[in-house]
Amino acid sequence: MGEKEQEVEIIRLLKSGPGYTSGQLLSASLGVSRTAVWKHITALRAMGYAIEASPSKGYRLREGRPFHGVELQSVLAGQAFGCQVHFFDSTDSTNARAFELARNGAPEGAVVIAETQTKGKGRIGRKWESPAGMNLYLSIILRPSVAPQGAQGLTFALAVAAAEAVLASGLKPAVKWPNDILIDGRKTAGILLEMDSEPDRVHFVVAGIGVNLNIKQDMFPEYIRQTATSLLEQTGSPVDRVAFTANLLASMERWYGVYLSEGFVPVLEAWKGYFRSFGKPLKVTFFDHAIEGICAGVDVDGALLLERGGRVERIISGDVEAL
């Protein structure tokens, strides 16, 4: 067990009972000296854990938990999605880190989480605002046995998972085609899939997701203040980021499994349950032009259907906004 794994194990043991856990038990479980245990306790306190120490009874973890790698690992232990947690206080982009890890052989389910991103990426080369201390910026490595075309289906599966995680907070999420999550018409989460492939097989996919959790409206930069929102703003109470992350990863794991084992049909059905644009006017922006029309639904392969002058067009790629 490495230093970090020992810290994760101490937290797991402290959480396992309601009362105190003796230093002797910790020392025996980890196979290290009691001095080493004490050093770890000191380190864990520095990370933000409130740990009480009693000379006669041992250690006890008080309520409240910090958002960092040790806590996430202690919560995610045993889940396939989250089997590895690479936590950064700050990084350029969690997708970029996950890409590096994947190229170096990191397994499916390995996760990169950062407190802040200096170059957070959105779709179509856009920026994802990533202030520290309040939101979730997560990327996960997937290794599906599909051709690159199959990755578009994954986009929908992960959008369903993200919507489900927001729904669990008591809110009513909607999907914006293909993979943003809106609450009350405002953007709450975005998903960016990037992959490394040959023309006929995917080597790996990195799915990045950013979720506005505890950011306040006035902290959004001007250019998105009218179009973005957060779970805090919508529910009025702060989100436990660790719990949300664990919940989201469990949903992602489930819907990824559905897609791989049952295909696109059940995924698209679930996705449609969150899709509220049918019959509404939409604007679709492409690289060099934009078109407007009425949403006529979504095709069997996930293409957006847009009615314009009596004809229905299939949109494969583009940026959609409600009019």
Residues that bind a second copy (CB under 8 A): 99, 103, 123-124, 145, 147-149, 151-152, 154-155, 192-201, 203, 287, 316-317
Cis amide bond preceding 107, omega within 30: no
Between 89 and 301, CB nearer to a second copy = 301
Could you give the CA distance from residue 49 to residue 154 in angstroms, rounded to a whole number?
A: 37
Between 63 and 288, CB nearer to a second copy = 288
230: its two tokens: 């957060």
Residues 6 or more apart whose CB falls under 8 angstroms from that of 147 comprise: 197, 200, 201, 202
Between 14 and 193, CB nearer to a second copy = 193
Q: What DSSP character marks residue 77?
A: T
Nearest distance, CB of residue 196 and a second copy, angstroms: 6
Of the chain, the end-to-end C-alpha distance in Å amounts to: 56
Between 113 and 195, CB nearer to a second copy = 195
Between 23 and 178, CB nearer to a second copy = 178
Between 7 and 194, CB nearer to a second copy = 194
Using an 8 Å Cβ cutoff, are 234 and 185 in contact? no
Could you give the CA distance from residue 166 to residue 164 in angstroms, rounded to a whole number?
A: 5
Nearest distance, CB of residue 192 and a second copy, angstroms: 7
Between 16 and 104, CB nearer to a second copy = 104
Strand extents, DSSP E, the chain:
51-54, 58-61, 85-91, 111-117, 136-142, 173-176, 180-183, 186-198, 201-211, 281-285, 290-298, 304-308, 311-315, 319-322
Nearest distance, CB of residue 197 and a second copy, angstroms: 6
Compute φ and ψ for 172, nearest 5 degrees. -115, 85
287: its two tokens: 């690289």
Cβ count within 10 A of residue 66: 14
Between 136 and 304, CB nearer to a second copy = 304
Nearest distance, CB of residue 239 and a second copy, angstroms: 28
Nearest distance, CB of residue 272 and a second copy, angstroms: 18
Nearest distance, CB of residue 204 and a second copy, angstroms: 11
Nearest distance, CB of residue 134 and a second copy, angstroms: 27
Compute φ and ψ for 142, nearest 5 degrees. -120, 145
Nearest distance, CB of residue 41 and a second copy, angstroms: 42
Could you give the CA distance from residue 151 to residue 14 in angstroms, rounded to a whole number?
A: 41
Could you give the CA distance from residue 300 to residue 221 in angstroms, rounded to a whole number?
A: 37
Nearest distance, CB of residue 269 and a second copy, angstroms: 19
Using DSSP, state whether 81 is helix, strand or coil: coil
Between 49 and 259, CB nearer to a second copy = 259
